[in-house]
Homo-oligomer: A and B are copies of this chain.
């Protein structure tokens, strides 16, 4: 039987790699420490496979077929195409587990969920930047799940919680012997290409963290549905955290770090859920 061995979240942002040299040593040190502590914990749970939940930043999908959620079921996944991700160490070595992926998809379809499926997903910086910066012992197999956090309409926060529960159920129901971790990437507050670009909304971030920490589903739904409507567009990626939260049965989390960092445009946060 498969086992859920860890649930984590980490922010991402192109600037963290692209303009790394322009960041102060203090910012560099605090970001490195947060990514690496998250990575240390992910390495420690010795996962065979990690479900990575990330937005797609207009790499796989366009408005002619924009899925609310797409599950990557292929034997392998393509590396990030962004020029600044060229040194990514796992460019040609991200492998999937088609049998487990098929099980997750079948479980979803049989429970009235309807993801799009990709046999050849390209994993952009959203997926890969945290995996890189975390300095893992070794890269587990990956089940990538791309969430539409960029272009309306998007899944409701309530539905994201349901997706988390569905993942939990699918893992528990898998007959194979597999240690599965979950890594949500993105958020918390940021704003890209909008008039608020560059602003980090610490008040939103703190409400979001408090709600996820407390664990109560109704509060999570209420705080996020409300908050997402009135803060920067990048905060929409917090719905990936909600999926992780649902998968962890809403038991609350341990905040590894919260680093509001306008220099990288992102309210960076890192967490590990209680199991």
Closest-by-CB residue of B relative to A159 is B112
Are A118 and B162 in touch, CB under 8 angstroms?
no
The answer to whether A117 has its CB under 8 Å from any CB of chain B is: yes
Residue among A109, A155, A162 having the largest count of chain B Cβ atoms under 10 Å? A109
Are A114 and B114 in touch, CB under 8 angstroms?
yes
The answer to whether A196 has its CB under 8 Å from any CB of chain B is: no
Interface residues on A, range: 20 to 34
Q: Looking at the complex, which of A57-65, A227-235, A237-245 is the stretch in contact with chain B?
A: A57-65
Give the residues in chain B near A43, CB-CB below 8 Å. Answer: none
The answer to whether A88 has its CB under 8 Å from any CB of chain B is: no
The answer to whether A93 has its CB under 8 Å from any CB of chain B is: no
The answer to whether A113 has its CB under 8 Å from any CB of chain B is: yes
The answer to whether A12 has its CB under 8 Å from any CB of chain B is: no
Which one of B60, B65, B113 contacts A60 once the chains associate, using CB atoms below 8 Å?
Answer: B65
Are B159 and A114 in touch, CB under 8 angstroms?
yes
Q: Add 16 more A-B contacts to A65-B70, A105-B153 (CB < 8 A).
A: A63-B118, A64-B118, A64-B119, A65-B67, A66-B116, A66-B118, A67-B114, A67-B116, A68-B114, A68-B115, A113-B114, A114-B114, A114-B115, A114-B155, A116-B116, A117-B153
